[in-house]
Amino acid sequence: MEAVAAGQAAAAADESAAVAESADVSPKASIGAGTRIWHLVQVREDAVVGRNCNIGRGAYVGPGVRLGDNVKLQNYALVYEPARLDDGVFVGPAAVLTNDEYPRAVTPDGRLKTGDDWTAVGVTIGTGAAIGARAVCVAPVRIGRWAMVAAGAVVTRDVPDFALVVGVPARRVGWVGRAGAPLTAAGDGRYVCPRTATGYLERDGRLSELGEEDLR
């Protein structure tokens, strides 16, 4: 990756961050240690990007957006303000997090809309969750911790922790664990991760991890 361009040097970026010369990073943005920002990325003013993030080619991070540590935005992901992404979130290629409930280019009287003519609403994504390629999350909506949104899905309502959702509109079809694999039903509302053997318990449409004492 090329060195940080002179015009970007004023950005509040840690010395260990790497920013491609073709990227457009606002001097008012904050970039955490170890983060890599690739070609043609745009990071707008007052955005905060955490440590050890990877922002792929052509991705967009809107004004005031907050990304936690170890976040991965794949190529051409669009994250519009005021989105909030917790640590370890994955956003796939060309996925979109919207911010306008009632989008119009003009007002009812035909005047071009400005920032004062609408109120931005955001998408919130919990720790470890993953948004598949070309998925769309329609704000305002919350994606729970470690949930997984399938490629091409359109999310129009909140997604519980550990839920696997697919389709248009997205609906829950199962549960996933921290490793991302679909969980295997073990009876009595219990589930097991086939990769880590971690146990989970479903109650009232919600899933939680089981401690060792719960597995006995």
Q: What is the DSSP string of 95-127?
A: -EE---SS--SB-TTSPBP-GGGS----EEE-T
- Domain ranges in the chain are 6-175, 177-216
Residue type, 176: V
80, containing H or E segment: none
| CATH (one of 2.160.10.10, 1.25.10.10, 2.60.120.560, 3.40.630.30) for 6-175 | 2.160.10.10
C-alpha 167: how far from its chain's center? 18
- With cut-offs at 50, 70 and 90, classify the pLDDT of residue 9: very low
Report the predicted TM-score, pTM, of the whole model to 2 decimal places. Answer: 0.91
> For residue range 81-139, what is the model confidence (pLDDT) as tens digits?
999 999 999 999 999 999 999 999 999 999 999 988 999 999 999 999 999 999 999 99
* Residues 39/23, Cβ–Cβ less than 8 Å: yes
For the beta carbon of residue 85, count every other beta carbon within 10 angstroms: 29
Q: Using the 8-state DSSP alphabet, how is residue 182 labeled?
A: B
> For residue range 190-210, what is the model confidence (pLDDT) as tens digits?
999 999 999 999 999 999 998
Query: CA–CA distance from 122 to each of 46, 85, 155, 177 (Å)?
Result: 16, 10, 13, 25
> For residue range 60-69, what is the model confidence (pLDDT) as tens digits?
999 999 999 9
Please report the sign of the dihedral spanned by the C-alpha atoms of residue 15, residue 21, residue 27, residue 28: negative
